Structure 1
Amino acid sequence: MKVILRKNFDQLGKVGDVVNVKDGYARNFLIPRQIAYQATVGNIRALEEEKKQIQKREAKELEEAQKLAVELEKVSVTIPVKVGEEDKIFGTVTNQMIADALKEKGFDIDKRKIEITEQIKSLGIYTVAVKLHSNVTASVKTWVVRE
């Protein structure tokens, strides 16, 4: 049975691909979960319209992410931490701490989007990446200071 994928599916392909699968797999798994629908002439036309809407939405999300990235580049956050001997901090600076500091500045960023490449275990200035979109990443200057 030929089906059109509505969602990206690792084993089969990407959105809009027309793939050939066994009838039972399509009827019992793909179609009920709305991962795919049967490839008919009407569904192919509907898919083209759906692709246009998806492209418009993705373009809008990309534009918003780029605007937010420009604003985030201008921001620096300060994270006060408790320190021991030789300016070593207790624990590490986490994604949540940076997300909270950004929230205080007016940016509502999910902690899972913040990427800390090296663990922050001492005082200093660090650059932290924030992945806003698959193609847009912003850098936030993070100051780790004594509490």
Structure 2
Amino acid sequence: MQVILIQDVDNLGGANELVTVKNGYARNFLIPKKLAVEASPSNLKQLEEKLKVKRKKEEKMLAEINQVVAKLQEGALKLGAKTGTSGKIFGSVTSLQIARAIREQKGYEIDRKKITIADEVKELGQYKATIDFGNGKNTEVEFEVVAE
């Protein structure tokens, strides 16, 4: 029997997926627990519509991400930090400071948890950070630490 999964089911498949299972498993477990619906022509049509809407959302989101990536690649961010006489920073630059600089200088709100810095930033100079947008899409952002 073919069913359309409503939710992810371990060892069977993900949501909105068409799978073939035994009749008893579908009628006694999947359908009563609202994990799946029978693959009738009307349900298949609804599935197609859901997938079409999902694809459009993903395309729109990908276009927005590409726009943000292009804007972030335009130029290096400038981060001010208090320094000693030798050029060393008091403390270090964090992802929170980078997120704040992106918001102020580029106009985009990016969650600080998505920003990773390759190595510790303890001195003035140019560095790179990686921003992970999810869906396998990430970009590197250059930033320069200057004395305040």
TM, length-normalised to structure 2: 0.75
- 1:125 maps to 126
Q: How large is the RMSD of aligned CA atoms in angstroms?
A: 2.8
Counterparts in 2 of 1:1-147, with a 5 A limit?
Answer: 3-6=3-6, 12-19=12-19, 20=21, 23-24=28-29, 27-28=32-33, 31=34, 36-41=35-40, 42-84=42-84, 86-105=86-105, 106-147=107-148
Q: Using the alignment, how far apart are the partners of 1:111 and 1:72 within structure 2?
A: 15
Measured at CA, do residues 110 and 52 of structure 1 come closer, stay the same or move farther in structure 2, by a change above 3 Å?
A: same
1:8 shift after superposition: 5.6
Q: Using the alignment, how far apart are the partners of 2:138 and 2:93 within structure 1?
A: 20
Measured at CA, do residues 122 and 39 of structure 1 come closer, stay the same or move farther in structure 2, by a change above 3 Å?
A: farther
Q: Write the letter of the residue equivalent to 1:123.
A: L
1:133 shift after superposition: 4.4
1:120 shift after superposition: 1.9
Percentage of identical aligned residues = 32
| Structure 2 counterpart SS, 1:101 | helix
Give the unaligned 5+ runs of structure 1: none
| Larger RCO of the pair (alpha carbons < 8 Å, separation 6+) | 1
Measured at CA, do residues 96 and 7 of structure 1 come closer, stay the same or move farther in structure 2, by a change above 3 Å?
A: farther
1:96-120 deviation per Cα after TM superposition (whole angstroms, max 9, x unaligned)? 1001111111122221222222222
Asked whether the equivalents of residues 66 and 136 of structure 1 are also in contact (C-alpha less than 8 Å), the reply is: no
1:83 shift after superposition: 2.7
Measured at CA, do residues 37 and 94 of structure 1 come closer, stay the same or move farther in structure 2, by a change above 3 Å?
A: same
Q: Write the letter of the residue equivalent to 1:16.
A: N
